[in-house]
Amino acid sequence: MIKKHIITSTVILGLLVMAKVFAYNMPQASKSQKNNNNTLTETVTTVTTTTTKKPVSMMAKLNFAEESLPLGDRKVERKMKTILAAHSFSQLQTNQLHRKAEEWFPIIEPILAAYGIPDDFKYVPLVESGLKGGMSPKGANGFWQFMPGTARSYGLTVNSEIDERKNLRKSTIAACKYIKELYGIFDSWTLVAAAYNVGDNHMRRQINKQNQDNYFKMKLNRETAGYVYKLISMKEILNDPGRHGYRTSGKMLAMQTTVE
């Protein structure tokens, strides 16, 4: 009888030992399997992300002072493509613009930064005076094409002997004061640029009349309606001249005016 109890106890004890060993080894195996599963999942996720990522179209990259074009608006996209094409090398021989940018930007950029004005406003003088040059029929003159009265109100001397509108540094300071004032009114850099072109009073009337404060969706006169598009085009062709057929090292680059 005692032997039977001893045998039974031995068997039970053996089973308990085996159960503990099995239980001890199981988490290790599970942990290893879990790690392998995680690694596999991460690999699949990485591969999926890499293979499904689509390239960003040029239209999505275009902006003025970080204010983007409304994507999906075909009218806006057609207009942007048209104005970009109009600034291609074959349409506008503007190697001179590149030279002007190299000369003007080192003076303009730090002044804009000091006044908290977005760097993209440095393209305004290129559009205002770089393309046109000289005095406008209405009397605007200088790098920033100030009217005499506006120039004087922002600290520039304009008389028969002195015209500080033609002084790049002084006129840029005056422009920054004006642009900052406009931003206080419109709270949008695209609207500020449009108001710079057409005047703040006219711009306010149009905003109230149309009940619309998105520049790209407003109906404006032809020049103002294309003004921000011109600034974006100027920015694009100076930052990526090869894409738009500009000369490099005296050789004509192939025309690349197609926008994705």
Q: Which of these, 76, 97, 61, lies nearest to 241 by C-alpha position?
A: 97
Q: What torsion, rounded to 10 degrees, do the Cα atoms 194, 105, 245, 142 define?
A: 60
Amino acid at 80: M
Each residue's pLDDT tens digit in the chain (260 positions)?
Answer: 444 444 455 545 555 545 554 444 444 444 445 455 555 455 444 444 444 555 557 788 899 999 999 988 999 999 999 998 887 765 555 677 888 899 999 999 999 999 999 999 999 999 988 766 678 888 899 999 999 999 999 999 999 999 999 999 999 999 999 999 999 999 999 999 999 999 999 999 999 999 999 999 999 999 999 999 999 999 998 888 777 666 554 443 333 333 33
CATH fold of 58-244, please? Answer: Lysozyme (1.10.530)
Instruction: Please answer whether residues 220 and 213 qualify as being in contact, where contact means their C-beta atoms are separated by less than 8 angstroms.
Output: no
Q: Could you tell me the pTM of the whole model? A: 0.73
Distance CA 172, CA 16 (A): 89
* Domain regions of the chain by residue span: 1-53, 58-244
